[in-house]
Chains A and B, each alone.
Chain A
Amino acid sequence: MIEVKNLRKHFGDNEVLRGISEHISKGEVVAVIGPSGSGKSTFLRCLNQLEETTEGEIYVDGELINSKKADINAIRQKMGMVFQHFNLFPHLTVKENITLAPLTLKKMNKDEADKKANELLERVGLADKAEVYPSSLSGGQKQRVAIARALAMNPEIMLFDEPTSALDPEMVGEVLDVIKSLAESGMTMVIVTHEMGFAREAADRVLFMDRGVILEQGTPQEVFGNPQDERTRLFLSKVL
């Protein structure tokens, strides 16, 4: 479903990604872990081209997406993204946040979009918040709305960029529960996270990134239970 070949990314002289090759299958839930500055978020943002790549190729459903010819807007409609800082649209109500993209891109009419929004809000446990503005929500509620917003376009892939890092500790659980139930529904997901317990529990596969490369990968049992690389061991000993 996602095929990455020798991906490199420079910010000026700073080489953030130094050759990443990876295959993510349909329905797979992949957790990306690693220390700050290891390039996890940049890797994720390259997958939907919020960051331009310097070198390498990214294919989604067999289509090369990091070329000038690719219709990036159409590709992004297939890939929902959830951000660390939610990035809800503050001038729109919760429901309008969710229906904006389907309506603007004419994927649904007003009734369909409203129905979809209500379903999604039900699913993330916020059915009663449809008409309020984001400023009246807690962090955990905002992030759940953000997930619903990304799901409104019926994406095939969901990208999560540290979805719980900006939350108060008591709100992390409610967001992780939503992500977990999404994982169980068979959605293809790539999740950059610092929640090791969550990665262990929800992911099919864990990628450990350090200094711009994928240093180690495997099932959660393999990576957490029996890390091969010295740096993986060092990292895990600090965070577990």
Chain B
Amino acid sequence: MEWFESFKQIFEKCFIREDRYMLFVKGFEVTIRVSVIALILGVIIGFIIALCNLSKHKALRAVGKVYTDVIRGTPSVTQLMLIYFVVFASVHWPKWIIAGIAFGINSGGYVAEIFRAGILSIDRGQTEAGRSLGLNSYQTMTKIILPQALKNIFPTLCNEFIVLIKETAIVGYVGLMDIQKAGDFIKSATYTPFAPLIATAIIYYVLIKLLTIALGRIEKAMRKSDIR
């Protein structure tokens, strides 16, 4: 039972002593807050940029192209730090909001391409059928194209959400204590790398597992019109 004793010791040192588990609880909250803002903003920006990319107008297409190009061409850590320390340097909002915005701007670039592919995947005949009935282009988009496109891109969009949540593990760079940073902090405070880092991994894993299960249920509900 020697290993059990040493496990107990390590566990006590890393998680119980000085209420260190609270670091993970708080960190979890930070990760969730940043992710939720980023996710919502990413979908909004992504949709707008996708419409720009699909627009008839050259100027709008140029805006969309530059946006996706810059976002995909630079590291997210660099973007995060630029937005935090430069763009929002004089804005005194809570850190997690600014970080959420930074990740949202980043995610938008990827979501835009997902939306674009989704909209293009819908047969031209669907647009023509809608327009031939007298619907305008906005009504055709919202009633006919988007519902179908969303169903098609849903799995890819979920994948982007998962990548995004894990991507937020770099918020430590701007001084936020998220799950990753909490593990890192405990590691440094206790000189014990194994337990806190494994705990970090497990927390992320469980979080994403639960999300995957929830999204899987939604997807199944969306597929009801496919049943023959």
Contact = CB atoms under 8 A, between A and B. Distances in A.
Interface of A: 48, 50, 73-74, 76-77, 79-81, 83, 85, 87-93, 100-101, 104-105, 133, 135-136, 146, 149-150, 153
B151 A91 contact: yes
B128 A87 contact: yes
Contacts of A85: 125
Given A90-B225, A133-B225, 16 more contacts: A50-B128, A73-B134, A73-B136, A76-B132, A76-B134, A77-B134, A81-B129, A81-B132, A85-B125, A89-B148, A90-B148, A100-B144, A101-B134, A104-B135, A135-B226, A149-B133
A74 B128 CA distance: 15
B121 to A, nearest CB: 12
Q: Interface range on chain B: under 10, 10 to 19, 20 to 34, or 35 or more?
A: 20 to 34
B126 A89 contact: yes
Contacts of A135: 225-228
A83 B133 contact: no
B136 to A, nearest CB: 5
Contacts, number: 71
B42 to A, nearest CB: 24
Contacts of A81: 128-129, 132
A153 B133 contact: yes
Interface in B87-142: 123, 125-126, 128-136, 139
Nearest to B144: A89
Contact of B131 (A76, A93, A104, A146): A76
Nearest to A79: B132
A80 B128 CA distance: 12
A103 to B, nearest CB: 9
Contact of B132 (A80, A100, A105, A136): A80
9 contacts: A73-B136, A77-B133, A81-B129, A87-B129, A88-B129, A105-B135, A105-B139, A133-B226, A135-B225
- Does more than half of chain B's interface fall in helix, strand or loop, or is it mixed? helix
B125 A87 contact: yes
B225 A150 contact: no
Contacts of A89: 126, 129-130, 144, 148
Max count, chain A CB within 10 A of own CB: residue among B123, B131, B134 = B134
A83 B228 contact: no
B209 interface: no
A83 B131 contact: no
B143 interface: yes
